[in-house]
Each structure stands twice: as C-alpha cells, then as structure tokens.
C-alpha cells in the first residue's frame, strides 16, 4: 500500500507534484481509473487531468528507474484510459507524445524516464494557460515532436475569439454535440454584441445538449432545447449548423449520432454547415473509429434487458469529410484538406517497448510553414 507520508514540491516553473516519502508510488492505473470511467469529460479536461497524474507519478520514481520497466509501467497504467478514450484526437496525440518521450529515454539520449515523462506532461499542463506569451518556450507553435518547445493544446481563448468573430449579430445557431472549444466560442459570442440564439437537442445519452444549455443560461443566453428526434426539423430556421467533434480522421470524423442526418438537412435547406474543433482533434494516422466498448455498455439503454431485446447502444457515428464543407479552427475557416495538411501526424507512435518501424517514420507532418505548403500545392502529383 502507498505510504500516507507525502509532501508537495513546487517544480518546473510552478507545476505541483506529489512526492511519496518512505513508501511506494501508487500505480498509474489506479490514479487514472476514475478518469478512464468518466465519459462526460471533454478531451481537454481528460488530457490535462491525466497529464497532472503522469507528472506526479513519474517524479515519484528514482533516477535509476530503468527505461524498459518505465515503459512497461506506463503502458499498463494507460491501457484502460486508452481503450475508453483513445478514439479522441487530443488523447491519442497526448499518449503518442509520452511514448515518443519515453523512446528518447530508451535510446540513451541522457534523458532518464523520470525526466522524459514529467517534462512532456509538463508541456501539456502548461498548454491550458492563456498568458504563455511570457514563457516563449511554452507559447511557441509546437512541431509535434516529444520534448520539443511549444504549446501542445492550441490556445482556446484565441480559438473562441476567431470563431465568434465569424458570427453576425442575432444569428440562430443549431448546435449538435458538445466540446469545451465549442462552448467557449458561444460564451465568447454572448459576451460581445453578437448575442446568438442557440438551438440544441438533449444530446442523449450523456445529456451533452443540456450541459451546453446550462453553461449558456448562466450568461442569460437565449437557448432552445428540444428532443434530439426533433432537431433535424428545426434546421430550416437556423442561420448555420455547428457540429462538435473530438475525433477527426483522414476520411471521416466522429460525432454524436444524428450528425449525418443534420448534414443532409443542412445541404437540402442550404444552411451553412461547419465543424467546430481545434486541430488537436485530428487523429494521428488518420483512422477515425467509433470505440468498440460502446456496443457492450448496456447501461446506456437498459441494463436488465431481456435476451430477446437487442440493444443498439452506440451514440456516436462517422460523418464523412465529403459531407463537411468547412471547419472552424484556431486558424479560422479551413477546409478538411487544409486542416489535414497543416496538423495531421502521419503515423501513430508505437507503444513503449515496441521497435519503431523505421527511422524517421514518426516525423510529424504538422506545422508545415505557409511557404512550404504553397510550394507543395503547386507541385505536379506523381501518378500512383
């Protein structure tokens, strides 16, 4: 059992870490168990809480913690969290960055596992701040490499300002799904003269629509909350449709069930449709997959259903990118092609202890400079 004798250290520019004295470190899996079970958290909240846990867990180990053991401990610790939440882009990128940090340690680059895990987790923790201009190493645009300077999470405040600026005063926005970024955009718009009217469904089974309505009601926002089944019928009265997504792949994104029908209704009634998301929702490798645990979770519908009753419990679905005309991101309006070119990582990082396929294959495609992107766009494509 872990010792109850603890102290709190202030290290790495003010990030708190717990250090166990005269006792064993609590396993990472136990620290993350509650987070793994929590389906109501947004990707941002989930990653930041996990980063704090990894930060403290790593620093509780001695400097002689061997890389092989550290990698095994880490993989065991994050296994359930990844199974439940690894379908989300931000979570996948976060876990990749920690695995690449461990690889730097395993390859003998004078970076012990304790430092590799804690430093990379620290970069993610600092990404939540809106005043990083005072710390250039943290505020710089991240190139996607582990332990490299740069902000891991795009600035949510800037994202909210840019997206809210797209609105005209008094618009009616039909919203489908929930994300922290989308909620911040609407809150920013309500604090200005835009004052949009928000129309949303309940967001079953996690009541995402109600969560959004409660946040906006605190700002005296005009909100219309309807049953999910009635939401498509309200598309004609909207000035635009916003869909939230935390998982964007190369061919499709994952959204709350009903997104495909709303996309069809928006096209039929010529209502502008946009996916509201930051670039960290893009999945490394580009494979967007609805998590398989959803189909086994009977609590979503009927725990004690008779054997003759078939339960279809998935509340997520794939929305093809061909059906999405435009994204609203931290860079403003972007097409799916431009967003992928700018921010998508080409490959997933292998798990700790698994050899990399070949040198350089994990080099990220993200953050290509504008001049390079322009030159690439002008090149003649090589026939396949």
SS3 190: helix
Please, which pLDDT band fits residue 109 given cuts at 50, 70 and 90? Answer: low
Tokens of 360: 């350089």
pLDDT mean over 285-301: 86
Which residues partner with 223 through β-bridges? Answer: 198
Cα–Cα distance for residue pair 98/349, rounded to 1 Å? 9
Q: Same structural domain for residues 265 and 292?
A: yes
Residue range 147-184, pLDDT digits in tens: 999 999 998 888 999 999 999 999 999 999 999 999 99
Global pTM exceeds 0.75: yes
Please, which pLDDT band fits residue 16 given cuts at 50, 70 and 90? Answer: low
Q: Same structural domain for residues 133 and 179?
A: no
Residue range 214-250, pLDDT digits in tens: 999 999 999 999 999 999 999 999 999 999 999 999 9
pLDDT at 364: 44
Q: Same structural domain for residues 95 and 191?
A: no
Does residue 223 fall inside a structural domain?
yes
**Higher pLDDT residue, 123 or 313?**
123
Which residues partner with 316 through β-bridges? Answer: 256
pLDDT at 20: 46
Cα–Cα distance for residue pair 104/71, rounded to 1 Å? 12
Domain end, chosen from 78, 113, 139, is at 139
Does residue 371 fall inside a structural domain?
no
Strand order in the sheet with 316-320: 247-248, 252-256, 316-320
pLDDT mean over 130-157: 86
Q: Are 173 and 238 in contact (CB under 8 A)?
A: yes
Element of type H or E holding 339: helix 336-343
Which residue segment(s) compose the domain that 77 sits in? Answer: 6-139
Nearest Cα to 152, choosing from 35, 36, 279? Answer: 279
Phi, psi of 7 (to 5 degrees): -140, 160
Which residues partner with 17 through β-bridges? Answer: 9
Q: Same structural domain for residues 132 and 242?
A: no
pLDDT at 12: 47
pLDDT at 344: 82
SS3 249: coil
The rounded percent of the chain whose pLDDT value lies above 90 is: 65
- Please report, for the domain that includes residue 279, its CATH number: 3.40.50.10470
pLDDT mean over 282-308: 88
Q: Same structural domain for residues 130 and 164?
A: no
Query: Hey, CA dihedral for 141, 48, 210, 294, is it positive or negative?
Result: positive
Cα–Cα distance for residue pair 94/360, rounded to 1 Å? 19
Q: Is the pLDDT of residue 366 over 50?
A: no
Q: Same structural domain for residues 132 and 160?
A: no
Please, which pLDDT band fits residue 357 given cuts at 50, 70 and 90? Answer: low
Does residue 361 fall inside a structural domain?
no
Please, which pLDDT band fits residue 372 given cuts at 50, 70 and 90? Answer: very low
Q: Same structural domain for residues 67 and 121?
A: yes
Cα–Cα distance for residue pair 341/94, rounded to 1 Å? 19
Does residue 369 fall inside a structural domain?
no
Q: Same structural domain for residues 178 and 321?
A: yes
Q: Same structural domain for residues 183 and 111?
A: no
Does residue 45 fall inside a structural domain?
yes
Q: Same structural domain for residues 229 and 279?
A: yes
Q: Same structural domain for residues 231 and 289?
A: yes
Q: Same structural domain for residues 185 and 245?
A: yes
Q: Are 294 and 300 in contact (CB under 8 A)?
A: yes
Q: Is the pLDDT of residue 294 over 90?
A: no
Q: Are 288 and 248 in contact (CB under 8 A)?
A: yes
pLDDT at 130: 77
Give me the number of domains the chain comprises: 2
Q: Is the pLDDT of residue 361 over 50?
A: no
Does residue 351 fall inside a structural domain?
no
The rounded percent of the chain whose pLDDT value lies above 70 is: 86
Please, which pLDDT band fits residue 42 given cuts at 50, 70 and 90? Answer: very high
Does residue 229 fall inside a structural domain?
yes
pLDDT at 5: 43
Cα–Cα distance for residue pair 113/289, rounded to 1 Å? 31
pLDDT at 24: 58
Query: Hey, CA dihedral for 207, 128, 360, 379, is it positive or negative?
Result: positive
Phi, psi of 273 (to 5 degrees): -120, 130
Does residue 264 fall inside a structural domain?
yes
Q: Is the pLDDT of residue 351 over 50?
A: yes
Q: Is the pLDDT of residue 359 over 80?
A: no
Please, which pLDDT band fits residue 2 given cuts at 50, 70 and 90? Answer: very low
Burial group, residue 338, by CB count within 10 angstroms (0-12, 13-18, 19+) = middle
Q: Is the pLDDT of residue 7 over 50?
A: no
């Amino acid at each position: 059992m872990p010792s109850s004798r603890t102290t709190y250290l202030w290290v790495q520019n003010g990030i708190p870490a717990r250090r166990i004295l005269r006792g064993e470190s609590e396993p990472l899996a136990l620290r993350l168990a509650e987070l793994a079970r929590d389906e109501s958290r947004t990707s941002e909240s989930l990653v930041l809480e996990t980063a704090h846990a990894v930060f403290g867990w790593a620093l509780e180990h001695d400097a002689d913690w061997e890389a092989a053991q550290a990698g095994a401990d880490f993989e065991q610790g994050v296994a359930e969290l990844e199974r439940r939440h690894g379908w989300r882009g931000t979570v996948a990128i976060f876990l990749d960055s920690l695995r690449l940090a461990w690889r730097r340690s395993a390859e003998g680059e004078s970076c012990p596992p304790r430092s590799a895990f804690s430093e990379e987790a620290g970069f993610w923790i600092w990404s939540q701040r809106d005043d990083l201009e005072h710390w250039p190493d943290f505020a710089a645009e991240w190139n996607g490499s582990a332990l490299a300077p740069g902000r891991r999470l795009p600035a949510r405040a800037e994202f909210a300002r840019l997206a809210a600026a797209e609105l005209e005063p008094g618009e009616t926005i039909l919203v489908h799904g929930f994300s922290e970024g989308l909620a911040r955009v609407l809150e920013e718009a309500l604090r200005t003269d835009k004052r949009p009217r928000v129309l949303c469904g309940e967001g079953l089974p996690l009541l995402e629509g109600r969560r959004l309505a409660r946040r906006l009601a605190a700002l005296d926002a005009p909100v219309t909350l309807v049953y999910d089944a009635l939401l498509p019928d309200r598309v004609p009265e909207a000035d635009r449709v916003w869909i939230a997504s935390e998982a964007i792949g190369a061919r499709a994104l994952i959204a709350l069930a009903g997104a495909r029908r709303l996309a069809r209704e928006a096209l039929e009634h010529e209502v502008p449709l946009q996916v509201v998301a930051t670039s960290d929702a893009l999945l490394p490798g580009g494979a967007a997959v609805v998590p398989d645990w959803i189909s086994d979770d009977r609590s979503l519908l009927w725990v004690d259903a008779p054997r003759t009753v078939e339960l279809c419990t998935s509340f997520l679905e794939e929305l093809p990118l061909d059906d999405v005309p435009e994204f609203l991101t931290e860079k403003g309006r972007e097409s799916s092609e431009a967003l992928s070119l700018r921010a998508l990582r080409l490959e997933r990082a292998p798990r700790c202890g698994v050899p990399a396929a070949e040198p350089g294959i994990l080099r990220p495609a993200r953050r290509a400079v504008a001049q390079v992107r322009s030159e690439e766009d002008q090149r003649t494509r090589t026939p396949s």
